[in-house]
């Protein structure tokens, strides 16, 4: 069952987020951090199911759209629901990129690039620490 975007029940303060998330999740989701390439739990993960936001549980991607892009982070060619993601310009680290955030909690997920496979041509490059996996069945 897909989780719908709503702010109800989410932490409102930094202290509440720190209590809810582990250190890696907090660094990525709340501080727009990036886990080291090749280190994420879900990089080589091949289970069948749904990837949700580790901050709020909103469904973000499915295993059907996951692929090995060679980028060092889990990659998806399309989200489970476009309304569950928001994008914004990111000019950090001397680069111009498009940041991907969770539409419900505003947590930083990663970035999207225009060098992915068909049919979308997109590569959603997402930090494992920003995700939780729920297996089908």
pLDDT of 16 strictly over 80: yes
- Position 9 scores a pLDDT of 82
Q: Is residue 48 part of a domain?
A: yes
Of the two residues 51 and 7, the one the predictor is more confident about is 51
Per the DSSP assignment, residues forming a β-bridge with 97 are 90
pLDDT of 52 strictly over 90: yes
Between strands 75-76 and 85-90, the pairing is: unpaired
Q: Is residue 8 part of a domain?
A: no
Whether residue 125 lies in the annotated active site: yes
Question: What is the tally of structural domains in the chain?
Answer: 1
* Number of Cβ within a 10 Å radius of residue 64: 13
Q: Is residue 6 part of a domain?
A: no
pLDDT of 6 strictly over 90: no
Show the domain range for 122. Answer: 14-135
Q: What is the pLDDT of residues 82-115, one digit of tens each?
A: 999 999 999 988 989 999 999 999 999 999 999 9
- Position 102 scores a pLDDT of 98
- Position 137 scores a pLDDT of 78
- Which CATH number do you get for residue 94? 2.170.150.20
Q: Is residue 18 part of a domain?
A: yes
Q: Is residue 71 part of a domain?
A: yes
Q: Is residue 4 part of a domain?
A: no
Q: Is residue 23 part of a domain?
A: yes
Q: Running DSSP on this structure, what letter comes out for residue 33?
A: -
Mean pLDDT within 53-58 = 97
Q: Is residue 2 part of a domain?
A: no
Tell me the pTM: 0.92
**Cα–Cα distance between 111 and 30 in angstroms, integer?**
15
> Of the listed 53, 56, 102, 125, which one is catalytic?
125
Average pLDDT, the chain: 94
pLDDT of 1 strictly over 60: no
């Amino acid at each position: 069952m897909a989780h719908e975007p709503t702010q109800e029940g989410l932490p409102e303060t930094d202290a509440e987020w720190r209590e809810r998330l582990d250190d890696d999740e907090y660094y990525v989701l709340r501080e727009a951090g990036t886990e080291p390439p090749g280190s994420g739990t879900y990089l080589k993960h091949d289970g069948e199911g749904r990837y949700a936001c580790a901050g709020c549980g909103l469904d973000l991607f499915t295993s059907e759209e996951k692929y090995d892009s060679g980028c060092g982070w889990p990659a998806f060619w399309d989200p489970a629901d476009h309304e569950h993601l928001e994008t914004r310009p990111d000019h950090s680290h001397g680069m111009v990129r498009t940041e991907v955030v969770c539409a419900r909690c505003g947590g930083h997920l990663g970035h999207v690039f225009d060098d992915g496979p068909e049919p979308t041509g997109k590569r959603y490059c997402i930090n494992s620490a920003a995700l939780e996996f729920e297996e089908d069945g």
